[in-house]
Amino acid sequence: MERARSPPRRSAPLSSGVTLNVTTSTLSLTVADVDASRDFFRMHLGYEVAMAAEGFVSLSRGDAAADIVLLRSGSEVLPPEQRDQQAAGLILALTVSGIEAEERRLAAAGAPITMPLREEPWGERLFQLTDPNGVVVQLVEWATPDEAVAVDAPDAGAGAAAGVSNAVDAGAVVDTPDVVDTPDEADTAAAVGTGAVVDTVAVVDLPGGPGVPALSVIAPTDENVTASPNARMTGLAAPSRGSAELSTWTVEMAAGQTGPEHVISREQVWTVTAGAFEVSCGAVTEKVEAGRTFVLAPGVVRRIHAPEAAEAHVAMRADGVASVPGTDGTRALPWAR
């Protein structure tokens, strides 16, 4: 198993003024059966035994992965209040390269894959396996970024016209009002022929050129919906659905759902339309209820939590991309394309 390149390490002192110098990382797990976990990590994840004693094993891979110490529960080397605790609610995440091949390899070896490979909307590809003591290991790879969204096109009118034409591919229904200045009838026929329902409305001469739709009405379909374990996004306006510069979408989250920490490269404006969201940026958390709007600055690490069922309407420049702290690469938001 090859580990993907890690982000550059920060040298001391940190921006916070802390001069802590970390030379290695070790995860200590208290388990009932040390031998079973040892064999799991050796057989499936390439760890080797560095040290061992009764009820104790130290494992290492010799690369950027954290070392692992396995301690038998009840061991007297632990403080009394920790002796009966076992690894629970913990996920050991390893960022790798070639994640599909890793899943095939592990499945062929009979590894207990407890969550099959999937891709999150923010570009994280991952699957999980669980060792005999219930330790969850998650293998992660950042998806290859899609082609960047072009927003700053010199011909804004051409971009808008292309958006209406491309709306069919995204599954959206686009209504475009009656013709003024006689647009090319072949263009309208082509749009209908590709599967879109296009009602011709008013077309005007804009600076970008003649025949640019002055109004496009977009009705999203099921093909515009992206569902993740944390939220449901429905794409509305986007470059593939009638707009030239902006993307808008709705977000629905069930009570208790929480999105991951992430960063967006463009400003986002969220208007809460139902329920409430708890928005965390660093040490600040704000509860925003229906009828209120919050603005998230570009480049800010944020996490969105729904303490109750909640919905919002979101707007952003269409070239915004997402990233996850501690990982390489960026990812376009599929519902904003």
pLDDT digits (tens, 9 = 90+) for 315-325: 999 888 888 88
Sheet with 331-332: list strands edge to edge: 263-264, 321-323, 331-332
Nearest-angstrom CA–CA distance, 22 and 25: 8
Domain spans of the chain, in order of start = 26-142, 156-219, 231-336
| SS3 (DSSP) at 49 | strand
Sequence-ordered alpha helix ranges (H) in 28-93:
34-45
Tell me the pLDDT band of 75, cut-offs 50, 70 and 90: confident
Nearest-angstrom CA–CA distance, 267 and 172: 25
Nearest-angstrom CA–CA distance, 35 and 96: 25
Say what angle helices 185-193 and 156-166 make with each other, to 10 degrees: 40
Mean pLDDT in residue range 195-202: 35
If you count them, how many residues does the chain have?
Answer: 337
Nearest to 266 by CA among 318, 326, 324: 318
Q: What is the pLDDT of residues 124-136, one digit of tens each?
A: 889 999 999 989 9
Q: Give the rounded distance of the alpha carbon of 33 from its chain centre.
A: 35
Q: What is the pLDDT of residues 248-301, one digit of tens each?
A: 999 999 999 998 888 999 999 999 999 999 999 888 899 999 999 999 998 889
Mean pLDDT in residue range 185-205: 36
Predicted local confidence at residue 292, as pLDDT? 95
Tell me the pLDDT band of 10, cut-offs 50, 70 and 90: very low
Predicted local confidence at residue 219, as pLDDT? 83
What is the pTM for the complete model shown? 0.47
Higher pLDDT: 19 or 89? It is 19
Q: Is the pLDDT of residue 101 over 70?
A: yes
The two three-digit tokens of residue 219, written as one number: 């009705």
Nearest-angstrom CA–CA distance, 98 and 172: 34
Of 12-16, 76-80, 189-193, 217-221, least confident by mean pLDDT is 189-193
Higher pLDDT: 15 or 50? It is 50
Q: What is the pLDDT of residues 229-246, one digit of tens each?
A: 789 999 998 888 878 889
Do residues 116 and 128 make contact, with C-beta atoms less than 8 angstroms apart?
Answer: no
Please name the residues in contact with 164: beta carbons below 8 A apart, sequence gap of 6 or more.
Answer: 174, 176, 191, 196, 198, 213, 216, 242
E-state strands within 108-190: 113-119, 124-130, 136-142, 173-175
Dihedral of the alpha carbons of 171, 177, 178, 184, in degrees to the nearest 10: -40
- Please state, rounded to an integer, the average pLDDT across all residues of the chain: 76
Nearest-angstrom CA–CA distance, 263 and 44: 33
Look at domain 26-142 and name its CATH class.
Answer: alpha beta
Mean pLDDT in residue range 182-194: 35
Residue at token pair 């599967």: 195
CATH topology for 231-336 is: Jelly Rolls (2.60.120)
Nearest to 139 by CA among 127, 153, 148: 127
**CB-facing half-sphere around the CA of 104: CA atoms within 13 A:** 4
For residue 95, the cross-strand partners are 140
Mean pLDDT in residue range 98-109: 93
Nearest-angstrom CA–CA distance, 240 and 249: 13
Q: What is the pLDDT of residues 21-46, one digit of tens each?
A: 888 888 988 888 999 999 999 999 99
Predicted local confidence at residue 87, as pLDDT? 63
Do residues 292 and 228 make contact, with C-beta atoms less than 8 angstroms apart?
Answer: no
Do residues 312 and 254 make contact, with C-beta atoms less than 8 angstroms apart?
Answer: no
| SS3 (DSSP) at 316 | strand
Instruction: Say how many Å lie between the first and final Cα of the chain, rounded.
Output: 34
Higher pLDDT: 160 or 131? It is 131
Mean pLDDT in residue range 89-110: 90
